[in-house]
Structure 1
Amino acid sequence: GIVFIVPVTRALAQQRGQGESGRGGFNERLPQEIGAWIHIDEDGGVSVFTGKVEVGQNTRTSLTQAVADELHVPVSSVRMVMGDTDRTPFDAGTFGSRSTPTMAPQLRKASAAAREMLIAMAAEQLKVEPDDLRIVDARFVNHDKSKTLTLAEVAKGRKLVKVIPENIAITQPKDWTVAGTSTLKVNARDFVTGKHEYTSDIKREGMLYGKVVRPSAFNATLVSVDAKAAEAIAGVKVVTDGNFIGV
């Protein structure tokens, strides 16, 4: 008889939500360290890092609300660092309405883990049990309010060096106090005055606008390319690199 052996790993990449590994998409390979997502600044502000970008869908505000909910801090104390590839975790892109269902839960988990870690640090400083503390408007308060610390005081000189626990509990929708409520749009003035800079607004010296030339079949290999006609057009540049062709 005849035996057909078909390697399916790369074929699985064509399926929705699958990478070449055959496992779920890029979300399964996101950094799990708290510090990759959340920093507590010296002034007590919270810096949040995400590869998602603001393209008019107001995701800066919605993600800010999710973090504020978990850390129990004011929206005004949260600063989103978005799309800065030197500083933020890898992200497959901002598309397909994925920011809210994928990034919001990830930031909630990171924030919840940071909250538990910060409460433990505050309890150590105040010499109380962690269960005796809660965070109210960026302040750690014990049950009878006789002992308090600010977020800045607890985090000063400390880093959130810990992996996000797999079973970390995040706030359930019925208990949300910030998310799902009306709040002023973060950086709203920049949007209505045109000051906000979108990715499409960025211009660099010598920058070109390009398009990827896709193969006609999945996993095809480039054998040769005749780019003479394209290169004869004024201002057109053809870039080839292995199987990649860009115009």
Structure 2
Amino acid sequence: MFPATTEFDPQRFAKDPQSNKDDKTYKESTTMEPLVLTSQNSNANNDEDCHCGTPATISRFDPNDSSLDGLLMNNRRWVNSIIREDPLFFKNIALRQEPKLLWIGCSDSRAPANQLVQLGPGEIFVHRNIANVVNHSDLNCLSVIQYAVEVLKVEHIIVCGHYNCGGVAAAYGKQQYGLIDNWLRNIKDVYRLHQQELEELDNEEDRIRKLVELNAINSAKNVCHSTIVQNAWKNGRALTVHAWAYAIEDGLVRKLDWSVDNNTTLQHIYHH
């Protein structure tokens, strides 16, 4: 959930959220009606360290709601809470979208882009697939990137992996899963390229966590290798590509040591 007034601020993008706990923009700015289907954490609002701008409630789907009416009720409560804050919010965003961010993440239900960074509708253009893979032959992903860069004129592309990723863990193993094995091959290639670095780690858990990071960086590099991003840079566009990782176990998103805003640091073979 998020308040309608939660918007992306380009001036604060480079800051590390963990170092800004006293920043007033992280503090709760509005009181919203919790959107709950079956239960919520009764102690959620007692967390004095939460400056996310919304109540820390947890909504869960009721498996007995076979008609899915609970979801529609949830939607109406959410709409009413937004309208109370900004009566024209939906009418305004219906006219256009002007996101400054493209998020490429995993389809995992535990890693929803808007909730992780607490931004509202219209703030992030999103593409998700199994294990946040970007490759040169995926026309779906490339079409999203092209639309985001050339039409929406985004200024940042974030590739965000996450620890405890089932896709990465499956790629690390040797079991067959069917059609998806062809997709996971992309991650196996990442392992091959960094085999020595990965196998120097002491245990399997550390190797899989590192593979999550390397996979996110590899996908971010592939974003940069595309002619879409190359042409944007050639035309003088301000566009930065970032690699991040989300830790489900503590809820925190972390910057990986990789971001690029031009092609000078890329291997020459990928220059267009």
Q: TM-score, normalised by structure 2?
A: 0.21
Structure number with bigger Rg: 1
Higher relative contact order (CA 8 A, sep 6+): 1
Q: TM-score, normalised by structure 1?
A: 0.22
More helix by share: 2
